[in-house]
Amino acid sequence: MSEPNSLNTSLKRQIFPLAALVGQAELKKALLLAAVNPLCGGVLIRGEKGTAKSTAARGLTEILPPITAAVGCPYGCEPDKPQTWCPYCLARGDKNVWQEKPRPFLTLPLNATEDRVAGGLDFEVALGQGTRRNNPGLLAQAHRGLLYIDEVNLLDDHIVDIILDAAASGFNTLEREGLSVSHPAQFLLIGTMNPEEGELRPQFLDRFGMSVQVIGEKEPELRVELIVLREQFEADPEGFRARYLEQTETLKEKVIKAQHFLPMIEIPERVRKFMAQIAAEHHVAGHRADLFLEQAASALCALNGRRILSEAEVLEVAPLVLAHRQRESAPPPPPPPPPPTEPPEQPEPEDSDEKPQEEKPDEDRPENKEPPEPEQPEPGDQPEDPPDRPELPPLDPEGLMEQIFEIGQTFKVRRIDTAKDRLRRRGSGRRSRSRVSQKQGRYVKSGPDDGLGDIALDATIRAAAPYQKSRTCPPGLALALEPSDIRSAIREKKMGHHLFFTVDASGSMGARGRMAAAKGAIMSLLLDAYQKRDQVSLVSFRRNEAVINLPLTTSVDLAGKLLAEMPVGGRTPLSQGLAVTFREVKNVLVKNPLARPIVILITDGRGNVCLDGRPDQNPLKEAWTLASLMAKEHRVKYLVVDTEEASLVAFNLAARLADALGANYFKIGELKAQTLLDIVKQEF
Amino acid sequence: MKQSIPVYPFAAIVGQERMKQALILNIINPSLSGVLIRGEKGTAKSTAVRALAHILPEIEVYSPDPFQLDPQSEADLLAELHLALGLGMAAPPKPEKRKIKVIELPVGATEDRLVGSLDLERALKTGEKRVEPGLLAAAHRGILYVDEVNLLDDHLVDVLLDSAAMGVNTIEREGVSFAHPARFTLVGTMNPEEGELRPQLLDRFGLCVNIGGILDLEQRVQVLERRAAFEEDPELFSSEWQAESEKLSDNIQKAQKLLPQVKASPELLYHIARFCLEVGVDGHRGDIVIYKAAKTLAAWNGRTEVTKEDIEAAAELALPHRLRRQPLQAIADSLDQVRKAGPKL
């Protein structure tokens, strides 16, 4: 096979020259810095779709300065660092022939399996020559070069782990299939992502030295220029590239010159302090930022052809290095007002006058005093119909006021629980013996035979290959397999979770914009669910009963729509809500025993209607008993979001309920992401 | 033995003009990169896509060649890719003409079938490491059709996005390391009731049409009649429509020839850019697609000059799914909704 993964000439023709890219100054700067200084930690390109993210990243290949490596060395070892040499270079010692070669630029596709990333036994060699040889993976090939990952946020966790491991130590160690290899793997990560598709893990994010946020150009002139250039390029790629050849070469020379300058850059003590200060001021997590800041600033200094690093250069690169590391600069919100940053524009209950409003004076809760006057109390109504028509005056013996609140402000939800994450990988990651066929999911690596029949043949061959000398082959086959060679595929499939939202829609939720805040919180969770491809279900309870507004579906959109229309009013049949939800959860568990549903209960916990619809028993106690029964189902994870505002007369009933459920308990204000590590602030 | 399953003729589809137009534009100009057809069940979505087989033009390919390389521009890849497959170059494949193919990606496909994988038979029999090309190789320069694209497994979508982005499919799995060109027209059909597409995948479709059932009584009757006639005797029905199909096919080829000569005045380009800015489109792909679609429309109508009407019609096809939406907001059915909300074109 030819040079693996190299973009051969014909494919190279498709590269749009970096020099021809319209606008995107920050992006080009970051890429140049990365080209000059391999120590500045790579670039993460974030941006909406269609903003030339990938185009720019691939254009980088053409301006990379060459490296010097030994002829025949599979790992591209550095000539002046003999202590890191691979066995091949070590064995040849002085006999190594050093030669310039292009700096590696490797593409890590999302379909990559472990053996191609980290390396593995080359079975062709093993079968043909009977020797064990490592088939270097992408990490080896990318040593001293760049590893490019398109849509990096969609990469499998498992592959991310391998990359993180190598990035942290600078070495990739392989202990498998009878191989024991360790080789240097220092590479720059270049990644592109669209944040709409989910965020990166903080740890992974941290590995990127710089990040750039790209947005579409706002000037019509530039947009037109872009259309025209694109058209010219597509009509005649080669001619187009030829026209930019000179500019590309100039850029490349600039990079080579700067690289030459780089070791000579001096950093005055004053500037060093300045860098530390900047990092500290921006509440940056960890010390890696300081390091990257120094390297990036030095690279810029070298590009500018200067010897001594100045504050101006530090300031210029600071946004690139710091933006994605910044922690939330504001201290955690003070406890007193639970929805602290809710916008003031939430509709007050009073002003939604177009909705039917009615109420009996004997209402259940003290804070229900403020709702408007009862208007048209009439008997007989259909309690089912969630978005009640205004024409049908909703009414029941309790009386109720019914309103539809707008969705309050949404926010980034914090990761609900790390344990959840691990469960996901285990529950869905492996072959699920449930109704789905076993061979679904992405094959990421192999393990010992698990007897389920999903054989990873490539791994099996690798396992068998070294023993072929001592075995006799069946006729017509190239190798003899024995049962001990069998390897099974380990597949990862992100199935997402089953999320059940159980929402208290009783009258007490109408007070003081609580429902708006709650809807905001649910919406945020829904957005989170959307990114993680969860299935969601919506149950609401009010008046005398609980209703399944939305059976389990992947259409988070629909859930959002229903949520917006959900009316509020009436008493609080908490037990009903719990019971209906649990029935749904049970259904899921029957169908899919490996599922790990999550129930998110949004309530103030003030149940006042029993299961039989009568308010006079002890509805709270009933709900708690029910809750403790539900807690016995260990496969279900519960989350209680308390909507009660902190005040002198807080009842903390939701907390008690959470206790009974064994649930995680949050005040509604606490749902926000504590560390905004994963959100890059638009403005620095 | 050419077509074992009878295919309903494209020309005989009643109504659904926008869908037909979008499909035809994509055939004329493959760089429009596909169309997404959204609509309820029973609105002839899949029928239309499969019916394309009748009217697709021919392209030049090597035979045999699992990668559908273009003898004009990708000849240098042939030897390299074929050697990687272990095909000898003793008898180099000859260029020949054949119709563009529609490759169907089933919703339940596995990843290795899509991107390609290790050739197991070869590995077991001879111990050699060879590539077995997948559907992406087969779809190069053709049409990749995904029915119920919104139900496609997530990891398949990821892979699809990965290769659609640059027109290259890179394989790094099961011990093989390999790359080949994969530029295809992505055609997807979906019923929005079953959930929406992910934004990034949505953006990969150049055009998007929303279709509904036909409300006109006469047309509905026509649908019934033609369907009945087709089911009774598919061959007879197809032959009745043969002339129509050929006419369509001819027109497509004429438009293809005309396309390189189509020009647009700089004013119109500003028109596009400003409009996209005003209605709020993410990124630049919208601009580019409108421009291409407008040019293609002009060619389809036999003109070499793009008009304002072309641009408006193109925007209608290229923008609804690209507008910056509130999270979870529904995709606009048409630009009318957009115009209501935003400034006028």
- A476 and B272 within 8 Å at the Cβ level: the answer is no
Q: Is the pLDDT of residue B293 over 90?
A: yes
Identify all chain A residues contacting B76, using CB atoms and an 8 Å cutoff. 8-10
How far apart are the C-alpha atoms of A81 and A614, rounded to whole Å?
81
Is A547 among the domain residues? yes
- pLDDT level of residue B23 (50, 70, 90 thresholds): very high
Long-range contacts of A614-622 (CB under 8 A, 24+ apart): A615/A364, A615/A398, A615/A571, A619/A572, A619/A573, A619/A574, A619/A575, A620/A574, A620/A653, A622/A575
Q: How far is residue B210 CA from its own chain's centroid?
A: 16
Shared domain for A474 and A574, answered yes or no, is no
| pLDDT of the residue at A389 | 36
Shared domain for A543 and A450, answered yes or no, is no
- A10 and B74 within 8 Å at the Cβ level: the answer is yes
Shared domain for A558 and A464, answered yes or no, is no
CATH topology of domain B10-211: Rossmann fold (3.40.50)
Q: Residue B166: which of A48, A58, A221 has the nearest Cβ? A: A58
Is A460 among the domain residues? yes
Write out the two tokens for A402: 């019914």
Per DSSP, the residues of A91-143 read HHGGGPPEEEEPPPEEE--TT--HHHHH-EE-HHHHHHH----EE--HHHHTT
> Is the distance from CB of A258 to CB of A313 less than 8 angstroms?
no
ipTM of model: 0.82
Shared domain for A618 and A521, answered yes or no, is yes
How far apart are the C-alpha atoms of A492 and A87, rounded to whole Å?
34
Shared domain for A513 and A651, answered yes or no, is yes
**pLDDT tens digits, A221-265:** 888 888 889 888 888 888 898 999 999 999 999 999 998 888 888
Is A290 among the domain residues? no
Shared domain for A555 and A603, answered yes or no, is yes
- pTM equals 0.72
| pLDDT of the residue at A41 | 83
Catalytic residue among A132, A243, A288, A365: A288
Number of domains making up chain A: 3
Shared domain for A106 and A219, answered yes or no, is yes
Q: Residue A440: which of B73, B129, B153 has the nearest Cβ? A: B153
Shared domain for A204 and A216, answered yes or no, is yes
Identify all chain B residues contacting A479, using CB atoms and an 8 Å cutoff. 124, 127
**pLDDT tens digits, A302-322:** 999 888 988 899 999 988 888
Shared domain for A563 and A451, answered yes or no, is no
Q: Is the pLDDT of residue B76 over 60?
A: yes
Q: Residue A196: which of B110, B111, B200 has the nearest Cβ? A: B200
The residues of B annotated with a catalytic role in the active site are 285
Check which CATH number belongs to the domain holding A212 and give it. 3.40.50.300
- pLDDT level of residue A296 (50, 70, 90 thresholds): very high
Shared domain for A526 and A467, answered yes or no, is no
Mention every residue, 6+ apart, whose C-beta is less than 8 A from residue A445: A113, A114, A115, A158, A490
Task: Let me know if A288 is a catalytic residue.
Answer: yes
> Which range in A150-164, A350-364, A670-684 is most confidently predicted, on average pLDDT?
A150-164
Measured at the CA of A141, the angle between CA A135 and CA A144, to 5 degrees, comes to 150
Every domain of chain B with CATH number 3.40.50.300 lies at: 10-211
Which range marks the domain in which residue A484 is found? 441-492
| AA letter at A444 | V
Q: How far is residue B200 CA from its own chain's centroid?
A: 17
Residue labelled with tokens 């939330």: A328
Beta-carbon count within 10 A of B141 CB = 20
Shared domain for A621 and A556, answered yes or no, is yes
| AA letter at A532 | K
Assign domain B260-340 to its CATH superfamily: Magnesium chelatase subunit I, C-Terminal domain (1.10.8.80)
How many H-runs (helices) and E-runs (strands) does chain A carry?
22, 21
| Domain finish residue from A210, A244, A278 | A244
- A216 and B283 within 8 Å at the Cβ level: the answer is yes
| Domain finish residue from A193, A216, A244 | A244
| pLDDT of the residue at B337 | 57
Q: Is the pLDDT of residue A113 over 80?
A: yes
Per DSSP, the residues of A182-222 read EEE--EEEEEEE-GGG-PPPHHHHHH-SEEEEE-----HHH
Is A183 among the domain residues? yes
> Is the distance from CB of B67 to CB of B180 less than 8 angstroms?
yes
Every domain of chain B with CATH number 1.10.8.80 lies at: 260-340
Check which CATH number belongs to the domain holding A555 and give it. 3.40.50.410
Interface contact B263, partner A, CB < 8 A: no
pLDDT > 90: percent of chain A: 5
Is A113 among the domain residues? yes
Shared domain for A483 and A591, answered yes or no, is no
How far apart are the C-alpha atoms of A483 and A449, rounded to whole Å?
9
**Residue B90, by phi and psi: left (phi above 0), alpha (psi -120 to 50) or beta?**
alpha
| pLDDT of the residue at A618 | 81
Tell me which residue of A323, A622, A668 sits closest to A521, measured CA to CA: A668
Identify all chain A residues contacting B168, using CB atoms and an 8 Å cutoff. 7, 11, 14
